Every structure is written in C-alpha cells, then in structure tokens.
Amino acid sequence: MIRLEDASKIYRRRGEQVVAFRPTSLEISTGDYVAVVGPSGSGKTTLLSMLGGMLSPDEGQIWIDGTSIYAGSVTARASLRRDKIGFVFQTFNLVPYLTAIENVQVPLCLAGVHKDDQHRHALGLLERVGLGDRLGHKPSELSIGQQQRVALARTLANGPPIILADEPTGNLDPDSRACVLDFLDELHAEGRTIVMVTHDATAASRAKRKLTLRDGSLVTSDSDGPARAA
C-alpha cells in the first residue's frame, strides 16, 4: 500500500514561493490502477516524484508497505526505489550508446546480477514486449513506440511491484499507444500497483481509479478509500 499523510511541496524561486502540492492524505491499495489527471501545472508530476522517492515533501510523510520513504537514509531510499518501484517516462530515458538489451540490463547490473543472468532475463523481457528481433539496435535505430517498449522492459527488470508512469503514451502514435496500454493492463492483471499521470483520456479510462488535481490540490477522487486535501 502507498499512503500519503498531509504531504505537501513548495518550490522557492527568486525569493517567491510556489505551492506545487498542497497538504494531502491519500491511500493507494496494493494492486490498484490509478490515473492522475489535471491541467498542466496542477501538481501531477510533483506527486509522482514524491511517490517515487525522488522528491521529498516539505511536510508530511509518504509510506510504501509500512516504510516511510523519506524518514531513512538516502541509501535506504535508493534501495527501496530499486526493489519496489519501476518508472516509465514520456521521454524514455534510454542510454543512447547502449543497445536495447544493454539498456534493459542496466538495472540488473546495478543490482549485482550475474552477467549471464542479466542477458537471459533482459532477453526474456524484450521478447515479452515484442522486440526479440531488436536486441542489438540502439535507441536511434528504433521507432518511438519501440523505444517506449524497451523502456517498459527495463522498468520490469528488477520485478517491481509498483509502476509509476509519467505520460507513458504522450509521444506515441495510436498503434504504439494501444500496445503500451495493453501492456500496462497485463501488469495490473499480474497484481502490480500502477499510478499513471496522463493527459490522455483514453489512457485514463483504462485505470480503475481516477484522481484529479488542480492548482496542487486533490479536487476529486472516484475511489472508495480515504482521500483528503486541505
């Protein structure tokens, strides 16, 4: 379970304060599929970054499976992120000079997995996303949709139970978008928790819950669980 307790975030720019995320309490159950929607600047990416251990709240706490993400050391937070969370970005963040299979092997290498096991596991993941014939291709040699599928395979390398997706269909053509959304449906069916920030109404409709943010506040939630914004 993911739980926010009065979490908030303020940015300070040129001596001024910008409230990015107002104090909010929220629960996301294990195995849930949540779409976070709202206009640009509403706090969606700030929320996702806080959930992912990449941006500490100024106030409040964020818990994953009973562990407060920001209460421990930076090392403990990195370990939790590595073991629990997979990220999918609109810009893919692939390493341009590595091949598809090498990109997928990166998190496995960082986790200390034996090189032979890295290759075997990465191969299986790329075959799962339909890229078993593109192992040696670098990102520049792949279509945008194929790059996103490599990114999805890399996301799954360490078997994270939580997937955080930031506009995963934002740069994709309709066929590639459908492929990515079908894959997210599969991951949800396997029991993974998915939190997806999106402007795409079609993508949002695939989720089981929808949270709407505006001006840093949670204005609506269609869930039955507790959600409260100050």
79-136, pLDDT tens digit by residue?
888 889 999 888 888 999 999 999 999 999 888 889 889 999 999 999 999 999 999 9
Which strands form 2-13's sheet, in the order they lie side by side?
67-68, 59-64, 2-13, 16-28, 227-229
**Residues in Cβ contact with 2 at an 8 Å cutoff, skipping those fewer than 6 apart:** 27, 28, 51, 62, 63, 64, 162, 193, 195
- Give CA–CA dist 29/140, Å, rounded: 38
Mean pLDDT of 146-158: 92
pLDDT in tens, 158-190: 899 999 999 998 888 888 889 889 999 999 999
Q: What is the tens place of the pLDDT at every residue in 13-49?
A: 777 888 899 998 999 999 999 999 998 889 999 999 9
- What is the pLDDT at residue 226? 38
- The answer to whether the Cα torsion of 177, 44, 188, 129 is positive or negative is positive
Residues 185 and 157 sit within 8 Å (Cβ to Cβ): no
Side-chain half-sphere CA neighbours of 145 within 13 A: 14
Residue 223's pLDDT band (cuts 50, 70, 90): low
What tens digit of pLDDT does each residue of 45-93 get? 999 999 999 999 999 999 999 999 999 899 999 888 888 999 988 888 8
Domain boundaries, the chain: 31-53+73-223
Confidence at residue 127, expressed as pLDDT on a 0 to 100 scale? 94
| 229 backbone dihedrals φ, ψ, rounded to 5° | -120, 140
Q: What's domain 31-53+73-223's architecture? A: 3-Layer(aba) Sandwich (3.40)
pTM comes to: 0.88
Residue 48 CA to residue 89 CA, distance in Å, equals: 11
Reading the block at residue 179, the tokens are: 């492929």
Cα separation values, 46 from 10, 19, 29, 41, 55, Å: 10, 11, 20, 9, 8
- Residue 72's pLDDT is 86
